[in-house]
Every structure is written in structure tokens, then in C-alpha cells.
Amino acid sequence: MGSSVVSYLIDAFGMLGAAALLYAYAMLSMAKMSGGGLTYQLINLGGAVALMVNSAYHFAWPSAVLNLVWCGIGVLAVTRIIAARPWKRRQPSGGGPG
């Protein structure tokens, strides 16, 4: 792949990340999504990853570091949400002896 194609793909990835963050913020601001919800946190995390990659590729280090920290916060939030969920053990389906 030529460098112009890679640059285009990185820019498209960054635009998707920006769109994801704006979407999540808009949904939160309009009370259509909960800030403590898994969906919101995953959208935020994905957007931050995309912007971090884009920023690092273009040597925009302040933005890359900001999004690295944003990713760290997102990973912690997602981990806490998942850890707090009650998990049910799967019951074996019928058909066995018994």
C-alpha cells in the first residue's frame, strides 16, 4: 500500500473516531444514553482509540496523549461495568441422563 493510501485510511479512521465521540456526547446530552452504560463507554473507548492512532500517525503528540489517557479511563470504566454485572452460569440443556 502506498503512503497516500495509508494516510487516507488513517484520516478516515480518525474521522470515524471523532464521529463516535460526538455521537456519544450528543446521546448523553439528550439523555438518550446513560454515561454509566456499557454502550456509551464502548463508543467513547472506540472513538478515543481511533483518534489516538490518527494523532500519533500525524505526530500530534498532545492529542495522542490526551486520547491515550481517555482510552485508559474507558478501559477502567468498561472493566468496572462488566465486573459489576451478575453472571449466571449456564445450565446444561436437556437430553442428558436423568
Integer Cα distance of 82 and 75 in angstroms: 11
Cite the beta strand spans of 1-98 per DSSP E: none
Q: What is the pTM of this model?
A: 0.83
Q: Report the interhelical angle of 38-57 vs 61-84 (nearest 10°).
A: 160
The three three-digit cell numbers of residue 44, written as one number: 467513547
Confidence of residue 87 (pLDDT cuts 50, 70, 90): confident
Q: What angle do CA 35, 69, 5 make, to 5 degrees?
A: 100
34 within 8 A of 40, measured Cβ to Cβ = yes
Packing angle, helices 38-57 and 3-29, rounded to 10: 150
For 20-71, write each residue's pLDDT tens digit. 999 999 999 999 999 999 999 999 999 999 999 999 999 999 999 999 999 9
Cα 53 to Cα 63: distance, rounded to the nearest angstrom: 10
